[in-house]
Amino acid sequence: MRNFTDRDWRRTAALTLFAAAAVPVQAFAAWEPTKTVEFVVPAGTGGGADQMARVVQGIIAKNKLMKQPMVVINKAGGAGAEGFLDVKESKGDAHKIIITLSNLFTTPLATHTPFNWRDLTPVQMMALDNFVLWVNAETPYKTPKEYLDAVKAGGGKFKMGGTGSKQEDQIITVAIEKQTGAKFTYISYRGGGEVAVQLVGKHVDSTVNNPIEAVAQWRAGSLRPLCVFDGKRMPYKTKITKTMSWYDIPTCKDTGLDVEYLMLRGIFMPGGVTAEQVEYYVDLLKKVRATPDWTSFLETGAFNQTTLSGKEYETWVAREEARHIMLMKEAGFLAR
C-alpha cells in the first residue's frame, strides 16, 4: 500500500517536473542547433565563397559562438548546382546553411537545373564582392577608355580572362561589350588566382578579378587596376601599393563605362524552416560580424560592406534575380 502510494507520488512528481521543464523550453526559449551544422559551399575549395565560409566557421569555433560544431562541405558539381540541390532537398532541416555567390542565379538560368532561390530561406547578406577591371602593368592603358578604344580597334583579338563560363565574369564582359561596342574573346579558367596569373603572363589582355584574387600581383607591380564596377569607390584608404589604396581606384561609371556589378556573399537556409530557426542564425552571424577578425577579413578582400537580413534581404535578392535574367537574356546565356 505504502509502496503504491510512493510510486504514484513519484510518477506524479516526475510528470509534473517533466511538464514544468518541457513547456517553457518549447514556448519561451529560443531554438538552438541540437547536432552538427553543415555549412554547404556550392563552389570548390580555396575559392572566394569557400574562404568566407571557412572564416565564418573559424570565428564561430574560436569565439565559441555555437554549442554544436559546424562543418564546411564543398559541393561544387555542375557550377554549384550540386550544393543548391542538396539544400533544396533538405527542406525543413535547420542544421544546414549555404553560402551563395552569383551562381545562385546564373546556374539555373544557364543549365536549366531545377532550383530557384525561392526554394531556400534567405538568412543574411554578409557582404558584396567587388569586381575591378585589371590590365597588365606593362601595357600603356591608364584609363578604361584608352583600353576599350584599343579593344574596339582590335576587332575581337583582345582576350578577357575570367572564372567559369556564363557566370559573373562573363556577364560583366558582355555588359562592357553592350555598353561600348568593343568585342572580346572570353577565355574561361577554373579559379580567380589562375586568371590573375594568366594576365601577368600576358596570355589574356584584361580580367575582372575580385580584389582579393589580384591584390598580390597588383602590389608586386605586375597588374594595373583601371576601375571598380561599383556605384561608389571602395572605402579602404590604407595604401596597398606605394602610391595607391583601394579608394584611389575610380568607379567605372565615373570614367564613362556605365557598368555596375556586385556579387552576393549571402547565407541561406533550406525552405520550410521556422522563423525562430532563421532568427537564431541571423543572431549568430551578427555576433560573427562584430568580431575584429571579420573586420580585417573584409578589409583584406576590399569587400562592399552592405549587409541585409529579413524582408529587405529577400527584396534585394528578388531584384537581383530579375537583373540577372535580363543580363543573361541580353547576353544570350539562357538555356534553351
Partner 1 sequence: MEEVNALLQGFGVALSPLNLLLMFVGVILGIIIGVLPGLGGANGVAILLPLTFSMAQQPGGTTSAIILLSCIYWGALFGGAITSILFNIPGEPWSVATTFDGHPLAQLGRAGSALTAAFTSSFFGALVAVIMITFLSPVVAGFALRFGPPEFFSVYLLTFCAFVGMSGGNAAKTIASMMIGFALAAVGLDSVTGTLRLTFGSTSLLKGFDFLIAVIGLFGIGEILETLEEGLAFKGASARINFKVVLETWKELPRYWATSLRSAAVGCFMGIVPGGATPASFMSYGLARRLSKDGNDFGSGKVEGVVAPETAAHAAGTSALLPMITLGVPGSPTAAVLLGGLLIWGLQPGPLLFVEKPDFVWGLIASMYLGNIAGLIVVLTCVPLFAAILRIPFSIIAPVIIVICAIGAYTVHNSMFDVYLMVAFGVLGYAFKKLGYPLAPMVLALVLGDRAEENFRNAIKGSQGDLTVFFSNGLVGGLTSFALLLLFWPLIRAGWRVVLGKS
Residues of this chain that bind partner 1 (CB under 8 A): 44-47, 50-51, 54-55, 57-59, 61-62, 71-79, 81-82, 85, 110-114, 156-157, 159, 164-167, 170, 185, 187-188, 190-191, 193-194, 196-198, 200-201, 203-204, 212, 215-217, 219-220, 222, 293, 296-297, 300, 333, 335
In the structure grid, which three cell numbers stand for residue 230, read together?
A: 561599383
3-state secondary structure of 90: coil
Nearer to partner 1, 11 or 112 (CB): 112
In angstroms, what is the minimal distance from the CB of 4 to partner 1?
A: 53
3-state secondary structure of 245: strand
Nearer to partner 1, 159 or 252 (CB): 159
DSSP 198: H
Nearer to partner 1, 179 or 300 (CB): 300
In the structure grid, which three cell numbers stand for residue 57, read together?
A: 566557421
| CA dist 266 → 51, 123, 285, 301 (Å) | 13, 8, 11, 15
Nearer to partner 1, 203 or 319 (CB): 203
In angstroms, what is the minimal distance from the CB of 169 to partner 1?
A: 11
Nearer to partner 1, 84 or 313 (CB): 84
Within 8 A by CB and 6+ apart from 167, the residues are 79, 102, 103, 106, 107, 110
In angstroms, what is the minimal distance from the CB of 22 to partner 1?
A: 34
Nearer to partner 1, 85 or 94 (CB): 85
User: What distance in Å separates the CA atoms of residue 123 and residue 37, rounded to the nearest whole number?
Assistant: 15
User: What distance in Å separates the CA atoms of residue 75 and residue 300, rounded to the nearest whole number?
Assistant: 26
In angstroms, what is the minimal distance from the CB of 189 to partner 1?
A: 8
Alpha helices in 125-238 (DSSP H): 144-154, 168-180, 192-200, 211-219
